Amino acid sequence: MKRHIKTLAPVLITFFAVAGVQILNAQIINAIQAHVEHSFVIGDKTLPAGDYTFRMTTDPDQSLMIATNQNGTNVAQFLVRQSIDGHKPSHSELVFHKYGNIEFLSRIFEAGSKNGAAVTETGKQEARLMDQGQQAVEHSEVQK
């Protein structure tokens, strides 16, 4: 009996560790429909104002998000990591960093969840603004 437990223990530990990683990485489960009234930047790509859908890929590590426009065209792919906020939004939220009149997508939260996705790629333009000592103004836009 002890022999079976010794053999089974590493398998169970691995299983629960992998299952836990999947739970932690499942930041956003459903597609987020968003209307953005201003142009914004993701990484080094500027997107015009409009309607977008943000969804996680089926990648097992859940680290790639895709933004599509209202025509269903893939307009941006970007890496994300888990982000935890202090509140559970009742509606989905997009969080932006604004420098002057330029807005950079920072985080996305799904309605009813403290767990969201934070954009991990800082584009050259945002990095340059930060290097110049400019301070971002953070704001959230609630989606209905």
pLDDT of residue 121: 86
Pairing of strands 50-56, 32-36: antiparallel
Chain CA centroid to CA 82, Å: 7
Stronger pLDDT, 60 or 95, i.e. the higher one: 95
pLDDT tens digits along 23-36: 344 468 899 999 99
CB-CB neighbours of 82 under 10 Å: 15
Tokens standing for residue 86: 């202090």
The pLDDT-based confidence of 1 (bands split at 50, 70, 90) is low
pLDDT tens digits along 80-132: 999 998 888 889 999 999 999 999 999 999 999 999 999 998 899 999 999 99
State which residues form the domain around 73. 2-142
Q: What is the pTM of this model?
A: 0.78
Backbone angles phi, psi at 33, to 5 degrees: -90, 130
**Residue 84 pairs with which residues in a beta bridge?**
115
- Report the number of distinct structural domains present in the chain: 1
